[in-house]
Amino acid sequence: MATAGGPGEEDAFARYRSPLVSRYASPEMGFNFSERKKFGTWRRLWLYLAQAEKSLGLPITDEQIQEMEANLDNIDFKMAAEEEKKLRHDVMAHVHTFAHCCPKASGIIHLGATSCYVGDNTDLIVLRDGFNLLLPKLARVISRLADFAEKYANLPTLGFTHYQPAQLTTVGKRCCLWIQDLCMDLQNLERGRDDLRFRGVKGTTGTQASFLQLFEGNHEKVQELDRLVTAMAGFKRAYIVTGQTYSRKVDIEVLSVLASLGASIHKICTDIRLLANLKEIEEPFERDQIGSSAMPYKRNPMRSERCCSLARHLVTLVLNPLQTASVQWFERTLDDSANRRVCLAEAFLTADIILSTLQNISEGLVVYPKVIERRIRQELPFMATENIIMAMVKAGGNRQDCHEKIRVLSQQAAAVVKQEGGDNDLIARIRADPYFSPIQGHLESLLDPTSFTGRAPQQVARFLKEEVHPMLTPYQSKMGVKIELAL
């Protein structure tokens, strides 16, 4: 009995709820891994099996099929829970529950099948549907970032290697580095989905012996049964060889693809967090949003931080199927079951969350060109020294003498920056030195930031035209969805 202030039976807040569902994930991905989807799919698989068996000559009536069809979603979850508590077997609990509302069909439900007929085949359907939910979301992120890259294809910005100032690039070109990783992920997700096959109708150890007995040794009918049910479930192919389960290496392939996506998003959002610290780029920040309970001026990149936090979780989940596949004995052991209930669902839920969050970020990225320009001015004089030397040589100067002059002036300017906290005054020092009078009129053009970005703008245009936009074509009908984060 519930006590005052204690956990009541109806109090949803008195028990742990995974924040993946209660706080973050989309309703459609939450439903994909729900019990209603799972057990509703079990019933559909039992219907497919009965329909196929009937079509191949087993004594199953139209009335029995119609009774099953009428009760596909009429699931008494309370009765199923009571049955499972009594039987300690989830599949048989739902066989009995389905049979209770289909008394005429009760004798042919699950005919010839083993638990993995519904369990594994449902998992494969859910994984396929999960990919189909993720793919348009990933395509939308790529599309939003492609728009951003095109808009800022020509805006010079300081490049970083080792997080130290390096040659200039452009804001759009840097974004294309992010997009390229995500395009690889899009291809990997499509491949992961398309490589999935159905477990099909295989029996207890994968030999189809029970079905061969049902059809009195007719191998062709057993093979056709497998093909029919596979097609009804929406798959083009089934695994020819299985044990009791489909190979658990399939789960490795699926979660490896999602882990790779997690790595991409972690890198992108880390870059955004670093750029936010530099005040060059910020993620969206809402009018009433609070960055810190103690420091009211803070504008923390919390969306990018959330992506990084959850991406780390996603990356680690692939360890579960790796270990599970390695310890499966012979045709199967049940130590895979509880682990897979957790890691498969969490991988797709987490991928769903970070894609939705990244879409929200990419739809509202804010760029501060003046801040970017100021940082370029601080570093560009050092980068321009080689161009200045070449210009002096063309004007008749000696390369070695010029090099020494600039070395001395550069050290003086660096001292002002590092020891006095001043601005980089190298160009002012060059202007003041009579030695450089032959090129004084060309200094501005030698310091034009756009002359230091190489072919970055052209690379952006070609990349978007030749690689990105063609890849997004199949998803054009789903590009209009915008993301508003609940939290």
* pLDDT tens, residue by residue, 301-322: 999 999 999 999 999 999 999 9
Mean pLDDT, the chain, rounded, equals 93
**Mean pLDDT within 417-435:** 92
Please name the helix (run of DSSP H) or strand (run of DSSP E) that holds residue 158, with its range, or none: strand 156-161
For residues 143 and 147, give the distance between their C-alpha atoms in angstroms, rounded to a whole number. 6
Q: Scanning the structure block, which residue is given the tokens 């348009």?
A: 136
The pLDDT of residue 1:
37
pTM of full prediction above 0.85: yes
For residues 439 and 335, give the distance between their C-alpha atoms in angstroms, rounded to a whole number. 76
pLDDT above 70 for 145? yes
Digit-coded pLDDT (tens) for 82-96 = 999 999 999 999 999
pLDDT above 70 for 193? yes
- At position 117, the amino acid (one-letter code) is Y
Question: For residue 20, what are the contacts with CB-CB under 8 A and spacing of at least 6?
Answer: 346, 349, 350, 353
Same fold for the pair 115-286+298-367 and 371-452: no
Q: Scanning the structure block, which residue is given the tokens 């920056």?
A: 417
Task: List strand residue ranges (DSSP E) for 119-222, in order.
Answer: 156-161, 164-170
pLDDT above 90 for 285? no
The pLDDT of residue 386:
85
Topology classification of domain 115-286+298-367: Fumarase C; Chain A, domain 2 (1.20.200)
**HSE of 258, CA atoms in CB hemisphere, 13 A:** 36
The pLDDT of residue 203:
92
Domain ranges within the chain, ordered by starting residue: 24-101, 115-286+298-367, 371-452
155: left (phi over 0), alpha (psi -120 to 50) or beta: beta
CATH (residue range 371-452): 1.10.40.30
Question: What are φ and ψ of residue 7, in 5° steps?
Answer: -75, 110
Please give the distance of CA 166 from its chain centroid, rounded to a whole number: 30
Collapsed DSSP state (helix, strand, coil) of residue 164: strand
Distances in Å between the Cα of 227 and the Cα atoms of 23, 200, 244, 284 are 41, 8, 18, 50
Of 80-89, 155-164, 376-385, 407-416, minimum mean pLDDT range: 376-385
- Residue 298 — pLDDT band, cuts 50, 70, 90? low
The pLDDT of residue 438:
93
Could you give the residue numbers annotated as active site? 162, 292
pLDDT above 50 for 4? no
Tokens of 215: 């059809």
The pLDDT of residue 299:
77
The pLDDT of residue 289:
52
> Does residue 120 contact residue 199 with C-beta atoms inside 8 Å?
yes
CATH (residue range 24-101): 1.10.275.10
Question: What are φ and ψ of residue 412, in 5° steps?
Answer: -65, -45
More confidently predicted of 483 and 141: 141
